[in-house]
Structure 1
Amino acid sequence: MPYSETHMLKAQVKPSPSLIYNNLTLCGGDLLYAHIRQACAFPTSSLGSPVLTVRKIDSPHADVIHSIVACSHNAATFLVLATDAGLQIWDNTITHLTHVCPLPAAGAVDVAPRNAYFARGVTINVANDGAPHICFGTSGGAVYCLELSESSGKFKSSPVALPKHHKSPITAVGSAYQSRQGRWTEDLGCHLVSCDEEGGIAVWLAQHARAGGYSLVNSIDPTGQPVVSVAVRRDLIVAARLDGAIQLYGLRDGKLRADIGGHSRFISAMDIHPTKDIIATVSEDCTLGIWALPIGGAKASCLLSVCWLHAMLTGVAFCGPTSDDVAVVAYDTDEVHVYKHSG
């Protein structure tokens, strides 16, 4: 087996991560997580040390962070924070705040005001005309895109709303380009997947990143189980649901292709390998699971299932020189565990 619970490193990190979905991301050579209103970074090159130096990102904005996601395009990588005030976009060194996108006005929405208005869920996509753009969701059920000008390297000033579809808060958004970490492959396409708290999934096609550029291709009816994290791989949607299930749907027809009983309690985070068809998930049942996906005739298989006793796992990310190692963090726990790939 390429993974083993005995091939694990642990190190101390302070402060501890917040209790939000998918609270760990790899940006350049750093792993980052959110601690309430602040992003925290530590270098992957120091993962063999017992105590890691955690750098708190100094931001002029003191907004509660709901999503922390690294987005890559060509040679550029951005750290995107989705907050209760909108988006903060940082460069790959996480020292320069390059763009602030205020949260668009909620307007007239069909979503009951069950909570405050905030941004949640971030991904990068490339439209059919080649325009790269960041997509994000809101607790009002809206999805927006923010175009990146390749000539200037700057984001456009105002986000553009996708057509109305969701009737509950957005929980996750994803694309094949995000799942490949900005690598160009033959299976990319221009699709965006958005998910909501009722468990509904929508698939969009991006012709361009301007007004009217997105059209709804198909949708998957709400199941009552929210999608916590979503990825796109080889024309399949990989959806991690709150009830512990990992489901694969056809991207173009929305039909269920596989249903993996990944965890006994709710899933709190998922990451997908940028080049291999494997995912890592963590759950309230205190377990990390690494799974080979049933794609291209392969069977679903569990590569590792390991328990971090009494830990509320809240973030997981592939890392290391070949992206094969798996890092895990937990809420209110000053520690990171890294499971090394043994080749």
Structure 2
Amino acid sequence: MVAADSEGPKDRGDRMFHRERSIPLRSSAAALCNNLSVLQLPARNLMHFGVVHGSSAQLLSAAPEGVPLAQRQLHAKEGAGVSPPLITQVHWCVLPFRVLLVLTSHRGIQMYEADGSVMVYWHALDSGDSSSVQAVFARGIAASGHFICVGTWSGRVLVFDIPAKGPNIVLSEELAGHYTPITDIASDPAQGQDGVADMVTADDSGLLCVWRSGSEFTLLTCIPGFGVPCPSVQLWQGIIAAGYGDGQVRLYEATTGTLHVQINAHARAISALDLAPEVGKLLSAAEDTFVHIWKLSRSPESGSIEVEHCRGECISDTQVCGARFCDPTGGSFAVTGYDLSEILRFSSL
């Protein structure tokens, strides 16, 4: 059953969010979807932020109150070519035994220790199967078990087997199922069970592929696109949340691909989605200057997916290009915007 609501769900009146101290950037954020990565380090009372600008990625460490403590800039590995390659995404991958920072560009895939101090792996992209007019790039990054999956311009998804320590990283598999460039990849570590969908990949045509990870990845189902790109996707307890270029958020059943809810969430293209796994809150951000927070749940009677609107924040005069929760309960979030030289932070009252 599809629960479509052209007006969007009613606001529940949850806790208000207030603007906290922003974190200054040396360079403004590039106009890329999912252009913000956040790594929480509660044991050290720190938070890492990663933002892309051109051929460099800026890493920042900050205390909870927003005071910046350290900054580092990473540059895309040159490879062959006469101009510096543009970075397409930076993302921290939390594996069961280590955390790696992954950087993708028009030349290849770089993996670093979590603080960006040491590069442990470099994978060059092979442009041999692309035409001279087709751009070569990697984009879409997610950890699944002890694997890191990275999407490419050709629609292939590269699966890297990550050892518990050291640089002996191996390209173990290439997943086929997409025919247009990958836009985003999401996984749900809580769903790492036999027969359970625990990873979803999205592409420029809006097609979603649902996978079960393991020693070999298995394609479980494909959810057809409808001619609109899907820039961002999330997966939580068997629910796929997909954000599209027409401003819609669609919620699917991961195992079957059934559409449950369709929300006209934004007036322009969605640029980022994120999930707070402990409570099932979904954050959606778009080029219309708005960030919305939604609460996902399942009906105890029917098992159908339900959604309620919690809050909306307007980031005035800003084309939002990245947004992430800063804690697993969804009590705070951070936002980046095109040509904005700071990371905006909000927390609930």
Is this a same-fold pair by TM over 0.5? yes
Cross-structure match for 1:333? 340
Find the residue that maps to 2:171 and give its secondary structure. Answer: coil
Please tell me whether residue 149 in structure 1 is matched to residue 167 in structure 2: no
Distance 1:100 1:323, change over 3 A: farther
Please tell me whether residue 195 in structure 1 is matched to residue 207 in structure 2: no
Cross-structure match for 2:228? 225
Please tell me whether residue 33 in structure 1 is matched to residue 85 in structure 2: no
Please tell me whether residue 67 in structure 1 is matched to residue 74 in structure 2: no
Partner Cα separation in structure 2 for residue 188 and residue 264 of structure 1: 37
Distance 1:230 1:187, change over 3 A: farther
- Asked if the contact 1:123/1:175 (under 8 Å) is kept, the reply is yes
Identity of aligned residues (%): 24
Gaps of 5+ in 2: 1-12, 42-46, 79-84
1:118 to 132, 137, 147: 137
Aligned pairs for 1:154-303 (under 5 A) are 154-162=167-175, 164-177=176-189, 189=196, 191-208=198-215, 213-297=216-300, 299-303=306-310
For the aligned residue pairs, the C-alpha RMSD in angstroms reads 2.6
Distance 1:199 1:43, change over 3 A: same
User: 1:36 offset after TM fit, Å?
Assistant: 1.1
Distance 1:296 1:91, change over 3 A: farther
1:308 to 300, 303, 315: 315
User: 1:14 offset after TM fit, Å?
Assistant: 2.4
Distance 1:44 1:185, change over 3 A: farther
Distance 1:186 1:207, change over 3 A: closer
Letter in 1 for 2:138: A
Letter in 1 for 2:290: T
Gaps of 5+ in 1: 127-131
TM-score, scaled to structure 1: 0.85
Distance 1:161 1:4, change over 3 A: same
Aligned residue pairs, count: 321
Cross-structure match for 1:129? none
Please tell me whether residue 21 in structure 1 is matched to residue 33 in structure 2: yes
User: 1:57 offset after TM fit, Å?
Assistant: 2.1
User: 1:9 offset after TM fit, Å?
Assistant: 3.5
1:109-150 CA-to-partner distances (Å, cap 9, x unmatched) read 7xx876411101011112xxxxx1111111111111011123
Partner Cα separation in structure 1 for residue 161 and residue 193 of structure 2: 23
Distance 1:294 1:262, change over 3 A: farther
1:226-255 CA-to-partner distances (Å, cap 9, x unmatched) read 111111111121111111111111111111
- Asked if the contact 1:21/1:268 (under 8 Å) is kept, the reply is yes
1:44-83 CA-to-partner distances (Å, cap 9, x unmatched) read 316444xx46623244725311121111012521111111
Distance 1:90 1:166, change over 3 A: same
Letter in 1 for 2:283: A
Partner Cα separation in structure 2 for residue 85 and residue 272 of structure 1: 30
Distance 1:219 1:113, change over 3 A: farther
- Asked if the contact 2:281/2:330 (under 8 Å) is kept, the reply is no
Distance 1:321 1:253, change over 3 A: closer
Letter in 2 for 1:32: G
1:63-110 CA-to-partner distances (Å, cap 9, x unmatched) read 311121111012521111111112111111221111112224553x7x
Find the residue that maps to 1:144 and give its secondary structure. Answer: strand
